């Protein structure tokens, strides 16, 4: 988890760190303190994670407040948020997660109201039916939060999925999952609440072509649908059962391309380039044009290096690597860099004195 957070910290298009795995090699009652400490040590980006129970939430809250300087500073500008899987679809509250959710909003820590019905299993098979049920669950969760602490910072947390009716497992990479998650923004926007949802889960087991099309389609759908906070978009494979270092690098590229799409095409006198067209004239070329040099490094998406655009001869001379291999090498290069801690040494000592922190 520490290395994955370091990797995300260096990838420009992944804007926050969603804790993607659970450290089952440590005692359960040490989990929450160690998860948040490890993530906050490794990255300066926002950290989102779940917690085991209310006691674990207070440990995470205390550690984050110590890093922030004090509780008031943390509440004023929170750099952690909590996923609260408050809903057991269909239409039931999870007692423990609801208690965590209430405790988080009492302390002004943002929560994502995670509701994840599976079409055909825990919600109607049809997409519209799943979305209708999910909206009801979200309204219930929002009501609980606002009754607990009016004005509490929350995210409409719809993450609809599909059941594999052959195995009754979870499907995350299907194009319909992208469609439903794109629709989540419309539902949240209708009640004027920002939304959180999923994309880029992929049912593929490895960073292959299938993972590429599943991730690209679902991430682009949610991005163009207007989603405010998209998680699970980086590193995930096998419907969230697997993560891969190289997949984070590939997904950073996909997310960057989707962000580029959202920027649209800038149209003004400079970008219309009518003067440059006149200057070059009929039959000329723009290779040495001042206008080309002015825009060559910012008009088009450059990427992180994982996309190959070499001619075939150069590609073959460099080993004929596929995207997954290139991504693996990029991840190794990032992780080989000198480590740094985002938790100041004095604060780290104070936290370690108070909690049993297990990472060196």
Residue 307 domain-assigned (yes or no): no
- What percent of the chain is modeled with pLDDT above 90? 97
pLDDT digits (tens, 9 = 90+) for 230-275: 999 999 999 999 999 999 999 999 999 999 999 999 999 999 999 9
Distance CA 121, CA 129 (A): 12
Q: Quote the number of domains for the chain.
A: 1
In a domain, 323, yes or no: no
**Does residue 168 fall inside a structural domain?**
yes
Domain of residue 141, residue span: 2-264+340-354
CA–CA distance, 48 with 104 (Å, rounded to integer):
13
According to the model, what pLDDT value does residue 147 have?
Answer: 98
Can you give the CATH number for the domain in which 164 is found?
3.20.20.480
Residue 279 pLDDT > 90, yes or no? yes
The answer to whether residue 9 sits within a structural domain is: yes
Mean pLDDT of 155-183: 94
Q: Is the confidence at residue 168, as pLDDT, over 90?
A: no
Q: Is 308 a domain residue?
A: no
* % of residues, the chain, pLDDT over 70: 100
Q: Is 65 a domain residue? A: yes
Is residue 306 scored above 90 in pLDDT? yes
Q: Is 291 helix (H, G, I), strand (E, B) or coil?
A: helix
3-class DSSP assignment, residue 118: strand
Report yes or no: 100 and 55 within 8 Å, Cβ to Cβ.
no
Model pLDDT for residues 119-139, shown as the tens digit of each residue:
999 999 999 999 999 999 999
User: Does the pLDDT at position 38 exceed 90?
Assistant: yes
pLDDT of residue 318: 94
* pTM more than 0.85: yes
pLDDT digits (tens, 9 = 90+) for 209-223: 999 999 999 999 999
In a domain, 37, yes or no: yes
Mean pLDDT, the chain, whole residue set: 97
Kindly state the DSSP code that residue 232 receives in the 8-state scheme. Answer: S
DSSP three-state, residue 53? coil
Question: What's residue 360's pLDDT?
Answer: 87
- Tens-place pLDDT, residues 220-231: 999 999 999 999
Q: How far is CA 90 from CA 97, 137, 202, 256, in A?
A: 16, 8, 24, 35
pLDDT score of 334? 98
| Predicted confidence (pLDDT) at residue 98 exceeds the cutoff of 90 | yes
């Amino acid at each position: 988890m520490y290395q994955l957070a370091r990797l995300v910290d260096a990838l420009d298009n992944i804007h926050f760190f969603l804790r993607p795995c659970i450290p089952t090699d440590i005692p359960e009652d040490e989990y929450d303190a160690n998860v948040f400490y490890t993530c906050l040590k490794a990255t300066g980006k926002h950290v989102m994670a779940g917690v085991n129970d209310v006691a674990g939430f207070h440990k995470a809250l205390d550690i984050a407040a110590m890093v922030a300087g004090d509780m008031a500073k943390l509440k004023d500008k929170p750099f952690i948020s909590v996923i609260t899987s408050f809903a057991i679809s269909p239409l039931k509250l999870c007692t423990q997660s609801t208690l965590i959710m209430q405790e988080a909003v009492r302390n002004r820590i943002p929560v994502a109201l995670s509701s994840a019905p599976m079409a055909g299993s825990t919600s109607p098979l049809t997409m519209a039916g799943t979305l209708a049920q999910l909206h009801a669950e979200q309204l219930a969760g929002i009501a609980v939060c606002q009754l607990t602490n009016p004005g509490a910072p929350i995210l409409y947390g719809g993450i609809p999925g599909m059941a594999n009716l052959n195995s009754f497992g979870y499907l995350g990479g299907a194009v319909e999952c992208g469609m439903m998650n794109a629709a989540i923004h419309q539902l949240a926007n209708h009640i004027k609440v920002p939304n959180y949802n999923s994309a880029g889960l992929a049912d593929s087991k490895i960073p292959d072509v299938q993972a590429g099309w599943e991730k690209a389609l679902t991430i682009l759908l949610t991005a163009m649908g207007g989603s405010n906070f998209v998680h699970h978009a980086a590193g995930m494979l096998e419907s969230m059962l697997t993560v891969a270092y190289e997949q984070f690098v590939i997904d950073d590229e996909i997310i960057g391309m989707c962000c580029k799409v959202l920027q649209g095409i800038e149209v003004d006198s400079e970008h219309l380039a009518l003067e440059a067209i006149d200057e070059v004239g009929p039959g000329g070329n723009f290779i040495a044009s001042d206008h080309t040099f002015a825009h060559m490094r910012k008009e088009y998406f450059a990427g992180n290096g994982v996309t190959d655009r070499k001619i075939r001869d150069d590609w073959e001379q460099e080993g004929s690597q596929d995207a997954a291999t290139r991504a693996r090498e990029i991840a190794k290069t990032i992780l080989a860099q000198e480590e740094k801690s985002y938790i100041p040494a004095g604060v780290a000592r104070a936290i370690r004195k108070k909690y049993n922190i297990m990472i060196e």
